[in-house]
Amino acid sequence: MTSEKPCVVHSLTELRIELQKLRNQGKRIAFVPTMGALHAGHMSLIELAKGEEVAVVCSIFVNPTQFTDSKDLENYPRTENKDILMLEQYGCDLIYIPVMDEIYPDDHEGITIAYHGLDSVMEGTSRPGHFNGVVEVVYRLFQLVQPDMACFGEKDFQQLAIIREMVKQHELPINIIPCPIIREQNGLAMSSRNTRLTEAQRKDAELLYETLTELKDLKDLMNPDELAEWGRNRIRQSGKCELEYLEVADSATLSPMYRWHESTSARAFVAVRFGEVRLIDNMEVHP
- Catalytic sites, residue numbers: 42
Contacts of 67 (CB under 8 A, 6+ apart): 73, 76, 130, 133
Contacts of 229 (CB under 8 A, 6+ apart): none
**Which of 89, 83, 40 is CA-nearest to residue 60?**
83
CB atoms within 10 A of CB 207: 19
Q: What is the spatial distance between Cα 285 and Cα 287, in angstroms, rounded to a whole number?
A: 6
Distances (CA, A) of 187 to 191, 213, 283: 12, 10, 12
The helix-helix angle for 80-89 and 40-49 (nearest 10°) equals 40
Contacts of 204 (CB under 8 A, 6+ apart): 238, 240, 241, 274
Q: What is the spatial distance between Cα 61 and Cα 141, in angstroms, rounded to a whole number?
A: 10
**Which of 237, 232, 235, 220 is CA-nearest to residue 285?**
220
Decide if 216 contacts 187 (C-beta within 8 A): no
Q: What is the spatial distance between Cα 12 and Cα 241, in angstroms, rounded to a whole number?
A: 43
Q: What is the spatial distance between Cα 62 and Cα 156, in angstroms, rounded to a whole number?
A: 16
